[in-house]
A = this chain, B = another copy of it.
């Protein structure tokens, strides 16, 4: 009886797929509440594609992806539908506790989310930017630069797999890797 109850609980959890993106009635994306427990891809500090600028408080960015999408990537070298990638941007600190130099992470500044949904978004992927403390965000229009830059520069399916050290080899092996400086396979 206990086993049956556990099985039903497991089955329900799987059917509910709590990592799938959720939207409000007016099409805003709800911030995935559990993203910090998703699969971690990488972090950067002060990364920029603009002119280099010195900053006393450069931002960390941490990238997470939902587990089903990660598992799919390992199998195929690309992202399945309903992939949700979360870019968490945090302030940095240098002095604190025993730390005397370098940088460690402090408060969240913003969260950006990149969702693959081939039926919902004209270009298959949608971007959403969450202001600090906000739980919902509107779709960023597809005319914004994030879309064209990701499409042109992302190594795999409009995503920056070139910065995700544990996925690079998979993409190359599966033949899904492409940088603009390289001829299309």
Contact = CB atoms under 8 A, between A and B. Distances in A.
A160 B10 contact: no
A70 B92 CA distance: 23
Contact of A4 (B3, B70, B162, B163): B3
A153 B98 CA distance: 7
Copies of this chain present: 2
A101 B53 CA distance: 8
A8 interface: yes
A33 interface: no
A179 B97 contact: yes
Interface size class of A (residues with CB under 8 A): 35 or more
A128 B53 CA distance: 39
Q: Which 9 A-B pairs have the closest CB atoms?
A: A46-B102, A52-B101, A40-B40, A7-B7, A43-B43, A3-B7, A47-B102, A49-B98, A44-B104
A57 to B, nearest CB: 12
A143 interface: no
Interface string A3-27: 1101110110000000000000000
A11 B4 contact: no
Contacts of A11: 3, 6
B4 A4 contact: yes
Contacts of A53: 101
A49 to B, nearest CB: 4
A125 interface: no
